Structure 1
């Protein structure tokens, strides 16, 4: 696989408004990307492009070697893992955690009459254990905490052994402890040579796990900066992305940001 996706001059227009404006972006094997931007920056629209649920108004988008508009996207989507609130909302509250994970193999939510093999059960249990939530497999989805749900969704997205994994705001709504548990799971995933190409969407630099390699920063549907994480995620670029002077700090590989003090340069 030469590139997980390759977008060239992609624009998306809806009701006369450009949701994405001339975005070019590509990700290769082993890449772990974080996508950062304020509400309305175009992050969700961009994820829908690489998730093959919408097509560009103009420009070209190739995902896993296939050109959108020239391929059966239903087959292509089986090669992409996705986790977000839209998935969580479709999982029945009384669904067991193990079934919520295994049912991804059939691209369904809510186990019905599907027949699963022992290998499916073993794989789901292994993924849950690797994410530190193996003890939850007999619980029902509706009884889980928000943090436990988020990690279960990651396990579900990994069930089909995807080539591309999109994590859409996995830290949203989590308290500090749950966020740190999730970060530990994502750091382990990022460090695995067998993990798919990762794309994580967030508003907050504090939610960037160690091991992520690249950053894409969006504002008003356009790219502010894109490239290797250390060179791209700077106070200057972050300030441009959010439209205010921000200070960026890094401690032990984790980021934090705050408004720059008056009279002091964000550095």
Structure 2
């Protein structure tokens, strides 16, 4: 099932997802190659999390074309793709036993594993997990259980898990949600270290609520809204004009120390 190295890791055209009688999204397109980093943004309820689940092989499209890691998902069991794609979501945290150690949680990410007793971890698995915990600033937390960690620490453990096994594609669904200002910055710094030192040749997809949640290295963006969709380079998409159209509200985008900041303007 291995794809050629020059193949796009995501190729999506005219993607549509229908749940019951509700169309969650439609007409989406995006192509992500090695080393590219795609941000997905848009108003609440527009389908960003559902799209992340599709791109991580957790959910099937209703219509359209989707290739993941060079494989047409219409012709394969998507469950076989899941261990090949790193994934972060709040829902995943709730499925892990709270008495698992941080080291176990990270090491099992290589297998998309939820229970340590289902897998035999070797020295290499432990070494990589320890390395990833170091990159996210938790070098001495390997033996700590999930329920003994703060929210920010747990989310950094889950971030490390998403890169276990050095997947070619990693999908992060709002990794900075529920975090205070300092914890959010720690999370973004941890992500940048992993991308720089552990994932240089991999592709990243990151769903975010705010521009401030994005690392500076984002290269492309997909902006979803009721009034349209915009896809392209981050410099072309993440602009005051485009965000104003997407949110139907005046928004100004500024750059500060390499990071984008968006401000919703008062209308009276």
* Same fold per superposition (TM over 0.5): yes
Aligned match of 1:179? 184
> 2:223 — aligned with what?
217
Distance 2:252 2:210 in 1: 13
Residue 194 of structure 1 pairs with residue 207 of structure 2: no
Mapped to 1, the partners of 2:39 and 2:246 lie a distance apart of 14
| 1:1-267 → structure 2 map (5 Å cutoff) | 1=5, 2-112=7-117, 114-192=119-197, 194-220=200-226, 223-262=228-267
Q: CA–CA distance in 2 between the matches of 1:147 and 1:139?
A: 14
- Unaligned runs of 5+ residues in structure 1 are none
Cα distance change, pair 40–113 in 1 and its aligned pair in 2 (3 A) = closer
Deviation at 1:170, TM superposition (A): 0.5
Residues 80-113 of structure 1: CA deviation (Å, up to 9, x unaligned): 0101111110111111111111122343223215
Question: Tell me, what secondary structure is at the counterpart of 1:135?
Answer: coil
Aligned length: 262
Measure how far apart 1:54 and its partner are. Answer: 2.2
Question: Scaled by the length of structure 2, what TM-score is found?
Answer: 0.92
2:123 and 2:63 map into 1 onto residues whose CA distance is 46
Deviation string for 1:13-70 (max 9, x for gaps)?
A: 2233221111111111110111111111111121122112222222111111111120
User: Quick check: 2:36–2:204 contact (8 Å CA) kept in 1?
Assistant: yes
Inter-partner Cα distance in structure 1 for 2:195 and 2:231 = 19
Runs (4+) of structure 1 exceeding 6 A deviation are none
1:182 Cα deviation from its structure 2 partner: 0.5
Distance in 2 between the 1:67 and 1:244 partners? 38
How much is the aligned-residue C-alpha RMSD, in angstroms?
Answer: 1.7
Q: Is the 8 A contact 1:247 1:260 kept in 2?
A: yes
Structure 1 residues 229, 204: CA separation in 2 closer, same or farther (over 3 Å shift)?
same
**Unmatched segments (≥5 aa) in structure 2:** none
